[in-house]
Amino acid sequence: MTAYPQDPGAPDAPYLSFWRERHLCTLTTPRPDGSPHVVPVGVTYDPQARLARVIANKTSAKVGHVLAAGPEGARVAVCQVAGRRWATLEGRAFVRTEPERIAEAVRRYAERYERTPAPNPSRVVIEIHLTRAMGRG
């Protein structure tokens, strides 16, 4: 089996470039019964901080799944694909409610997706502390 590992803190240039392009992604979170819950999301990748970020409504299922995992965080994956190029980031997810963390996530989202999301007082950010990266940029 061919593997395409990347260092999540120091990916190669094509991989990082792919994460800077505008692509719809998926987030996979574990449901309480262990089955995967996969939803489309916008994701930003910060290799220097070894973080991926997803902005979300605090009442969404994905946020509920991360919170249900408890203080150790939920094991999750985000993925994007375009033709033969693909990229997956894995790690532990935590829900953050601090205004400065949300603002940073919104800023990065606006930069990548070229639009600023509408204000949302129920917004939180899912921060994924990256442990693994793979793919072909």
Each residue of 86-124: pLDDT tens digit? 999 999 999 999 999 999 999 999 999 999 999 999 999
Structure confidence at residue 2 (pLDDT): 64
Structure tokens at 47: 């290799």
**Residue 133 forms beta bridges with which residues?**
6, 89
Given the DSSP bridges, would you call strands 85-96 and 5-6 parallel, antiparallel or unpaired? unpaired
d(CA 19, CA 111): 12
**Its pTM surpasses 0.95:** yes
pLDDT grade, residue 36 (50/70/90)? very high
Please state the rounded mean pLDDT for residues 51-71. 98
Is the predicted pLDDT of residue 137 greater than 60, yes or no? Answer: yes
Given the DSSP bridges, would you call strands 51-57 and 44-46 parallel, antiparallel or unpaired? antiparallel
Is the predicted pLDDT of residue 12 greater than 70, yes or no? Answer: yes
Residue 94: CA atoms inside 13 Å, Cβ hemisphere, count? 11
What are the tens digits of pLDDT across the range 73-88? 999 999 999 999 999 9
Please state the rounded mean pLDDT for residues 29-38. 97
Structure tokens at 15: 């991989």
Number of H helices, E strands in the chain: 3, 8
CA distances from 2 to 13, 36, 136 (A): 20, 24, 11
